[in-house]
Structure 1
Amino acid sequence: MKVRGQRECKECGTRWSYYETGEVACPNCGSLHSVGVDEDRSLHTAAPKTLDLTPIRNDIDDAPVRRLAERATERTKAYTAGYGFIDAGTLQPLDDTYLAAMELRHVAGELARKTSATDDEEWYFTKLLKADEGERPDPEEVPDSLRALSGLAYANAVEEYRSDLRTYLDEHPDPAVRRVMERLADHTKRVRALDGDVPPREAETLVASTRDIGRYLAEDDENALAQAESRLDSLA
């Protein structure tokens, strides 16, 4: 949506940034009566989100994996839901924290339902608990039993980002990138139809090509668009 990010409370005169708070209520008095003071509206889909997995990591040695997974599922769901990648008109990258949080959300959701997990699954789960630090495990580290969940998580993340790319392109039309986007959509649809059960490197290539498209639009980097096409060619 397009909004005036700078707002002024009609009750107490406080000014704040909607882009930073995501709230229309005045942070000083709580009034819902405010006006936008920006001259123009900006495209904005992002929401102020933070992810802190520290309390869960601190309990690794004391709590059962199933309970830790339940807590991780709750936190990552709250973080990834309604995330958004356009901040005050500026397209943001598909970052590692969001990607890792999406993967953790899928993996933790599965482990929370299982009566027991294998050693490999527990180890990989603990690796994913560094999502809030922007760390993602290497594709080669994904256990076979979690491969589909990892692939589906990345395909869903790409689909969410692609949705915002379409919104961004409505404001900044670009025929060249539209064509590449159609190819990206086809590959994403295929991975989701397979419930993510593709080689981890294939899911990683899907993510990389999506990032290339985002970099092309944000930085006008023509090499990035060519790289996106090359990566998609490798998936054909």
Structure 2
Amino acid sequence: MKIRGERECTECGTRWSYYETGNVGCPACGSLRSVGLDDRTEHTDLSVEFDLTSVRNDIDDVATDDLAARARDHAKEYIRRRGFINAGDLRDLDDRYLAATELRHVADVVGRTVALEDREELYFLSLLRGADRGERPPAEEVPPPLQGPRGLAYANAVREYRRDVRSWAEDRELTDAERGALETLGDHVKRIRMLDGDVDPETAERLLEATRDLANGLRGDELAFTQAQNRLEDLEPGGVT
């Protein structure tokens, strides 16, 4: 959405930046009456807290399925309010968002699994331990039953990020090659989502790397754009593995 983020309170005259606070209320008097001082600018990156401390504190006292349900709800709320455009600038697809998205999907599976194996439970707990700091286990540690949730998480994260990239690019003249790369990225996302994320973790990582390179390329890094094209080509069925 496009907003006027630089605000001035009509009650007390205080000026503040909604881009920084994510709050429409005046920080000085709390009034909701203000006027915008700048032009309308695309902004989707809300200020959102993601803290799993309360869930982690109950690891020894709460059943795993209950922990999973609480972790899933925390992650879901965080993801729902996140975006990637800040005051018109395209931000990165960051590790915290990725970890939160994976936690949401893994926790959903863990919470519904009757006979959870130790390896799967340990993976969930490892993800819970560091997701709110942007930490997630490496690809080689993903248990086979959780490869689908990880792949789906990455595909969904890239889908949401690509949506913001397209919004950010509306005021820019993309080349045919850039538009083509964005479309190809979307095709890969659709394919992985149709498979319910059932791809090997390395493929999911390559999707992420291609997305990040493409974003850097669209922001002017020609080498990154070329790398993104190569990565997208490698993701084609029958491409380099």
TM-score, normalised to structure 2, is 0.92
1:32 partner letter? L
- Give the match for residue 171 of structure 1: 171
Tell me if the contact between 2:48 and 2:81 (Cα under 8 Å) persists in the aligned partners. no
2:105 partner letter? H
Partner Cα separation in structure 1 for residue 5 and residue 199 of structure 2: 41
Alpha-carbon displacement from aligned partner over 1:134-163 (angstroms, at most 9, x marks no partner): 112111111111111111111000000000
2:179 partner letter? R
- Give the match for residue 152 of structure 1: 152
- Give the match for residue 203 of structure 2: 202
- Give the match for residue 47 of structure 1: 46
- Give the match for residue 226 of structure 1: 226
2:182 partner letter? M
**Match of 1:171, SS?**
coil
Partner Cα separation in structure 1 for residue 212 and residue 32 of structure 2: 38
| Shift, 1:27, TM fit | 3.1
Alpha-carbon displacement from aligned partner over 1:74-103 (angstroms, at most 9, x marks no partner): 110111113110101111000111001100
Tell me if the contact between 2:203 and 2:235 (Cα under 8 Å) persists in the aligned partners. yes
Superposition CA RMSD, Å: 1.4
**Match of 2:32, SS?**
coil
Alpha-carbon displacement from aligned partner over 1:45-92 (angstroms, at most 9, x marks no partner): 111012111222232233221111111111101111131101011110
- Give the match for residue 187 of structure 2: 186
TM-score, normalised to structure 1, is 0.94
Tell me if the contact between 2:206 and 2:231 (Cα under 8 Å) persists in the aligned partners. yes
Tell me if the contact between 2:210 and 2:228 (Cα under 8 Å) persists in the aligned partners. yes
1:216 partner letter? G
Sequence identity, in percent? 56
Gap regions ≥5 residues in structure 2:
237-241
| Shift, 1:111, TM fit | 1.6
2:191 partner letter? R
- Give the match for residue 85 of structure 1: 84
**Match of 2:217, SS?**
helix
Q: Output aligned runs, 1:105-120, within 5 Å.
A: 105-120=104-119
Gap regions ≥5 residues in structure 1:
none
| Shift, 1:28, TM fit | 3.3
- Give the match for residue 20 of structure 1: 20
Partner Cα separation in structure 2 for residue 171 and residue 127 of structure 1: 41
1:217 partner letter? L
2:228 partner letter? A
Tell me how many residue pairs correspond in the alignment: 234
Tell me if the contact between 1:107 and 1:146 (Cα under 8 Å) persists in the aligned partners. yes
**Match of 2:30, SS?**
coil
Alpha-carbon displacement from aligned partner over 1:209-234 (angstroms, at most 9, x marks no partner): 0011111223x111111111111111
